[in-house]
A and B are shown apart, each in its own frame.
Chain A
Amino acid sequence: MSTLTKPIPYDEVRRDLWRPLSGASPTYLITLLVLSAVVLWGLCAWGYQLYEGIGVAGIRRPVFWGFYLVNFVFWIGISHAGTLISAILRLTDADWRKPVTRAAEAITVFALMIGGLFPIIHLGRAWLFFWLFPYPNSRLLWPNFRSPLLWDVTAISTYLTGSTIYLFLPLIPDVAQLGRHATGWRRRLYRMLSLGWTGSDQQWHALERAMKLMAATILAVAVSVHTVVSWDFSMSIAPMWHSTIFGPYFVVGAIFSGIAALLIVMSILRKTLHLEQYLTPHHFNNLAKLLLLMSLLWFYFTTAEHLTVWYGNEPKEMNVFGARVRGPFAPYFWTMVFCNFVVPFVLLGIKKLRTITTATIASITVLIGMWLERFLIIIPTLSFGRLPAAWGRYSPTWVEVSITCATFAAMGVLYLLFSKLFPIVSVWEFEPHQGPDA
């Protein structure tokens, strides 16, 4: 991939990045309509589940955690795109991050919103979700603070709050500029969101300081969130869950899938919004190299996890291990290895093959592989528990499949709406006298 870019005049930067905000092409509208229809279908499926009861889902004894929990872990993983890419690169002053950060931060917020819904969907009686929060109530019941499931509630609430603020703060100067030029309801919206930003040095200093502090804090939260999600599993003494490396293993997987999601989104935005000058091969090249690194790390952790189980030869663990690598789950397992390791290793490891297209292909396979990984972590352990008499199979119903598809469509809808309301690349970070990679 070529890494050369030429500086772009600031006026042109503003014109290019504001252009997608006005008007809507037929393709945009059709895509929005189709995705909204899928979301609506998913909502209907959820409504059906609420009406009929959780029994319409495929979760049965002994597999009580099915697609919903798989999706929960998957989407929380995707949410690591924004914070890890944006915060690390911001803290290290990596200049090439500028066109990438907002797209990544938006993924984080949307993925968290979607991921955070799954425990509620999984509750069955979703309308009582607020019982998870500690509040004075007549039942004299309080949440069990020592439960890892409540750790999730605090971790995800903190992460969602932090990520939203982290997305909003650098948006303020841009919406202030937009507020001066827009008309009608957009003007009112932008002016309200800009909170009275004037661009004084005092405000810039406060923003820079706040962004640095937020970057440092959000990094610590991001790592803790996926560690806590992994502890949902590893704190139980279930075969192939009770592992000390689950925390870092999950964090690595989360960053891995997050980068893949970011590459896919960037590739689509580049093509559809004509941002070729801003999302250059240089950015794809850097992210592709990061993806390759994470693929190698993922492979290392997966090998370490499975090798120690195999070498230990503990019968209960070996039942699950066998089911994964040569039993009923073997096709999924080897597809996962192919998607997460073989494809990225070949396509991104060989320099001549590393292009925007191959990086996007590798990212798609990584997302498939990572979803399978979450599936393989959850389902085989529950299917092949400690008591062979209690073994059972799991197959998802149309309700779970519909809701799963709807979440991917919801991500698309949220992104389409966001890209129509706000510049997807931070305009103010392109200093007037410098280009995107200066």
Chain B
Amino acid sequence: MFVAAEFRDREGVIRALRDLNSDGCRSDDIAVFSDEAIEFPRDALHRPSHMSFVVVMGAITLCLVAIGFVYFTQYNYPIITGGMPTFSFWATGVVFYELTMLGAIITTFLWFIWESGLLRRGARKPTPTVEPGLIALRVECESNRSDGVSDLLRSAGAVNIRTLG
């Protein structure tokens, strides 16, 4: 089951997150909802990301694909180069550069979709409605722990505590 609570300020959420961590809640079971981007200290809520690494890999992959594509097509469909090399890295470097960047751009977008869970099919967890200016916190827990979690959230400054799902 899910326990949802609303907070008026960021500090209250941070207190609640730290209390939930020390109470044994996993960060995967916790979600914070808001109408704005809020940064939390690592000890309160840590969301590791591989986006930078994946983007670099995406860029390198498309760069290699571009080099291979240009190399093989230039040899398979050779044009008259007036004695110059059929495949010239310098003369085609711009194409590789641009496609490397395209790889980075597309990978960033796709990884953003993946990491943020957008468009993901399957059963969705209930989403609490957030009033503008408020921050909602949702905790997934066993039904026998819901009272304890509610008390913990209340002591951290939560208002409007309710259960979902």
Chain A interface residues (CB < 8 Å from chain B): 10-11, 14, 134, 140-142, 144-146, 148, 150-151, 154-155, 157-158, 161-162, 165, 169, 173, 177, 195-210, 213-214, 217-218, 220-221, 224, 228, 231, 428-429, 431-433
Contact = CB atoms under 8 A, between A and B. Distances in A.
B123 interface: no
B152 interface: no
A198 B34 CA distance: 8
A169 B105 CA distance: 12
B36 to A, nearest CB: 5
B130 to A, nearest CB: 6
Contact of B105 (A11, A154, A217): A217
B122 to A, nearest CB: 12
A220 B15 CA distance: 41
Given A151-B98, A155-B98, A142 B47 contact: no
Nearest to B59: A217
Interface of B: 31-38, 40, 45, 47, 49, 51-52, 55, 69-70, 73-74, 77, 79, 81, 88, 91-92, 94-95, 97-99, 101-102, 104-106, 108-109, 111-113, 115-120, 127, 130, 132-133
Given A195-B113, A199-B33, A432-B36, A146 B119 contact: no
A208 B38 CA distance: 10
A20 to B, nearest CB: 19
Nearest to A177: B35
A206 B98 contact: no
Given A204-B34, A206-B51, A158 B70 contact: no
B104 A213 contact: yes
A411 B73 CA distance: 38
A205 B49 contact: yes
B34 A161 contact: no
A201 B94 contact: no
Contacts of A220: 101
A432 B94 contact: no
B132 A196 contact: no
Nearest to A11: B132
B88 A202 contact: no
Contacts of B115: 202, 205-206, 209
Q: Which 7 A-B pairs give the minimum distances between C-beta atoms?
A: A146-B91, A206-B116, A210-B112, A432-B133, A201-B32, A203-B116, A154-B98
Given A162-B105, A202-B115, 8 more contacts: A146-B88, A146-B92, A148-B94, A151-B95, A161-B106, A204-B36, A228-B94, A432-B36
A432 B35 contact: yes
A198 B125 CA distance: 11
A141 B118 contact: no
A433 B69 CA distance: 52
Contacts of A158: 98-99, 101-102, 105
A221 B132 contact: no
A158 B88 CA distance: 22
B109 A165 contact: yes
Nearest to B54: A213
A169 B104 contact: no
Given A195-B118, A201-B47, A203-B117, A224 B101 contact: yes
B19 to A, nearest CB: 17
A10 B132 contact: yes
Nearest to B118: A195
B51 A201 contact: no
Given A151-B95, A428-B35, A134 B112 contact: no
